[in-house]
């Protein structure tokens, strides 16, 4: 959960439309990457290692998850 994370700046995608359907990311001191829903900043947070985040982003770019939208 977000309340267990160190205080860190969060950033929103430049693709954000400001309509509440945004993803925020934070670079943590231990080099993991935290991801959360900007509409629910106190809700669940997903943590990725850098390798996991790289694989996830590559999968998104390759269209591997297009069937989910």
The confidence score (pLDDT) of residue 16 equals 73
State which H helix or E strand residue 56 sits in.
helix 50-61
Distances (CA, A) of 61 to 3, 58, 65: 31, 5, 9
For the chain, the domains span 2-68
What would the pLDDT profile of 8-66 be if each residue is shown by its tens digit?
899 987 777 777 678 899 999 999 999 998 888 888 999 999 999 999 999 999 999 99
**Dihedral (CA of 3, 19, 15, 46) sign:** positive
How many C-beta atoms lie closer than 10 Å to residue 10's C-beta? 16
**The token pair that represents 69 in the structure block:** 């939208």
């Amino acid at each position: 959960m977000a309340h267990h994370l160190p205080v860190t700046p969060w950033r929103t995608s430049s693709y954000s439309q400001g309509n509440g359907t945004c993803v925020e990311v934070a670079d943590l001191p231990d080099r993991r990457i935290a991801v959360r829903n900007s509409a629910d900043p106190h809700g669940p947070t997903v943590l990725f290692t850098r390798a996991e985040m790289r694989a996830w982003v590559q999968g998104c770019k390759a269209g591997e998850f297009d069937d989910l939208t």
